[in-house]
Amino acid sequence: MDQQGDGNSASFAGSLAIVRNGKPFTDGDFAKAFMLDVANELFDDFANKDKIIKRIKDMPLSARTVHDRTMMMSNQVEERQVKDLNTAPYFSLALDESTDVSHVSQFSVIARDFEVEVADLKATDMWVNKFKSLNDDLEKLARQQADLASKHKWTEMKKLQPADQLIMKTWNELPVTYRTLQRVSIAVLTMFGSTYACEQSFSHLKHIKSNLRSRLSDESLNACMKLNLTTYQPDYKAISKTMQHQKSH
Average pLDDT of 73-102? 88
**Predicted confidence (pLDDT) per residue in 149-162, tens digit:** 788 776 787 788 88
| Share above pLDDT 90 across residues of the chain, in percent, rounded to a whole number | 31
pLDDT of residue 18: 94
Mean pLDDT of the 117-139 span: 67
C-alpha distances out from residue 15 to 186, 189, 205, 206, 242, Å = 36, 34, 18, 20, 17
Mean pLDDT highest for which of 34-38, 87-91, 214-218? 34-38
Dihedral sign for Cα atoms in the order 158, 159, 160, 163: positive
Instruction: Please list, residue by residue across 59-98, b when 16 or more beta carbons sit within 10 angstroms of its beta carbon and e when fewer do.
Output: bbbbeebbbbbbbbbbebbeeebeeeeeebebeeebeeee
Q: What is the pLDDT of residue 119?
A: 45
- State residue 114's pLDDT score: 62
More confident residue, 196 or 95: 95
Contacts made by residues 129-133, CB under 8 angstroms, sequence distance 24+: 130/170, 130/173, 131/170, 133/170
**Statement: residue 248 has pLDDT above 70:** no
Is the pLDDT at 3 greater than 70? The verdict is no
Specify the pTM: 0.67
Amino acid present at 31:
A
Q: Average pLDDT of 165-181?
A: 74
Strands (E), 41-188: 91-99, 105-113
Q: What is the DSSP code string of 142-182?
A: HHHHHHHHHTT-HHHHHTSPPHHHHHHHHHHTS-GGGHHHH
Q: Is a pLDDT exceeding 90 seen at residue 103? A: no
pLDDT at position 126 is 61
Tell which wins on pLDDT, 95 or 66.
66
What is the residue extent of each domain of the chain? 3-89+216-241, 115-189
- The mean of the pLDDT values for the chain is 82
Instruction: Give the lowest-confidence range in 7-11, 68-72, 123-127.
Output: 123-127
Which pLDDT belongs to residue 219? 92
Q: How confident is the model at residue 115 (pLDDT cuts 50, 70, 90)?
A: low
Q: Is the pLDDT of residue 204 over 90?
A: no
**Model pLDDT, residue 122:** 45
